[in-house]
Amino acid sequence: MKLLFVSTPVGALGSGIGGGVELSLYNLAQEMIRRGHSLQILAPADSTLDDLPIVQISGNLQIIAQSLDRSAAYAKHMPEGLIAMPKNPVLANMWDYVRRVESEYDLIVNFAYDWLPFYLTSFLKSPVAHLVSMGSLSDAMDEIIVQTSKQFPGTLGFYTPQQVATFPELTPPIYYLSSGIDLSLYQFCGQPKQQLAWLGRISPEKGLEDGLAVANGTNISLVIMGKIQDEAYWQKVQQDYPNAPFEYLGFLSTREMQQVLREAQALIMTPRWVEAFGNVAIEALACGVPVISYTRGGPASIIQDGKTGFLVEPDNVAGLIEATKRLGEINRQTCRNVAEAEFSLEELGERYEKWFIDILNFRL
């Protein structure tokens, strides 16, 4: 297959702004190339992904969807349901490029959680596969996603059933694609240090304050890694927990991050929103690190309660603290084994390749 991957418009690849979708695109691109498919990636200017082929598109970045109001698509002060883009938007520029080159590709794969690519699908001659990277966040996005599923059945891919459950009346078939990582990049550690880890974008929907509350309540140091997306929020959570033992290491490369993560007793996940998946969970498992998470969203599909970690009622900090006392029940080798069985690049490639072939066969 000749594939054209169209990246998220919220930030350059490699910047960390795109969160888990960056990792998903990177890993899937590697695996599709390994399987013999030809591939081109469209992404905002200044993107870097090792030696993967990228066409860089200039323009202004989109506002991050999860920071927006429920009824208005792009800002709280806008009229309900209004769709907006900045001047000279990189999103529109990328899809104008798609329009000009679409005949050169068998399939276009959209990684943007944004209204425009879904709307443009019916105007393109080449089929478009949409990886829906988040749960329901706005009325406008719900409407266009539901419409696309009805008009082009089978072209929407999702991470987990928990994510799909946030959308109303999707038309089958529903493709659950999960995620996968290059397991060779993550080293197993059987003897952790006396520390916990928290990994992800630092923004309100990630609930970092609950991670600091766990550190405060257990007196176990919390190592924090990730991009600071909301500086005011970051300052506030530190002020709210002035005595919590923690260390912030910044946004690290995969190699640097896993060196720290693998030595943690557990990864703490504290989402305040419905996580579509949670790549950090499988990164932890790959290192042999159990995951303690709220049951909200994707982690409930990843973590086997009592086997690879613990699932806790949402927003129950006491439950998170209690779970840390039970970490001795978890076999860290089992965590690694589950990662190898379910979340390898090979398994990822099998799921996506089948989805792509099904879309192309449907169009014949």
Scanning the chain, the segments in alpha helix (DSSP H) are: 20-34, 90-101, 115-120, 139-151, 161-164, 208-218, 231-240, 254-261, 279-286, 299-302, 317-324, 332-342, 345-363
The neighbouring-strand residues paired with 56 are 43
What pLDDT score does 77 carry?
Answer: 47
Provide the angle, in degrees to the nearest 10, between the axes of the packed helices 345-363 and 20-34: 80
pLDDT 10s digits, 260-307:
999 999 999 999 988 899 999 999 999 999 999 999 999 999 999 999
Q: pLDDT higher for 110 or 81?
A: 110
Q: How confident is the model at residue 362 (pLDDT cuts 50, 70, 90)?
A: confident
pLDDT 10s digits, 192-243:
999 999 999 999 999 999 999 999 999 999 999 999 989 999 999 999 999 9
What CATH topology corresponds to 2-180+345-363?
A: Rossmann fold (3.40.50)
| Structural domain spans, the chain | 2-180+345-363, 183-342
What pLDDT score does 17 carry?
Answer: 83
What pLDDT score does 71 carry?
Answer: 47
Q: Judge contact between 136 and 33, C-beta under 8 A.
A: no
pLDDT of residue 334 exceeding 90, the answer is yes
What pLDDT score does 74 carry?
Answer: 41
pLDDT 10s digits, 10-49:
999 988 888 788 989 999 999 999 999 999 999 999 998 8
Task: Kindly report the backbone phi and psi dihedral angles of residue 317, in degrees, each rounded to the nearest multiple of 5, phi listed first.
Answer: -65, -35
Q: How far apart are the first and last CA of the chain?
A: 14
pLDDT 10s digits, 85-94:
899 999 999 9
What pLDDT score does 60 carry?
Answer: 96
Other C-beta atoms lying within 10 Å of the C-beta of residue 253: 10
Can you give the length of the chain in residues?
364
pLDDT 10s digits, 119-128:
999 999 999 9
pLDDT 10s digits, 52-67:
999 999 999 988 765 5
Residue-averaged pLDDT of the chain: 93
What pLDDT score does 145 carry?
Answer: 96
pTM (global) more than 0.75? yes
Q: How confident is the model at residue 138 (pLDDT cuts 50, 70, 90)?
A: confident
Q: How confident is the model at residue 75 (pLDDT cuts 50, 70, 90)?
A: very low
What pLDDT score does 258 carry?
Answer: 96
CATH superfamily for domain 183-342: Glycogen Phosphorylase B; (3.40.50.2000)
The reply to whether 2-180+345-363 and 183-342 are identical in fold is yes
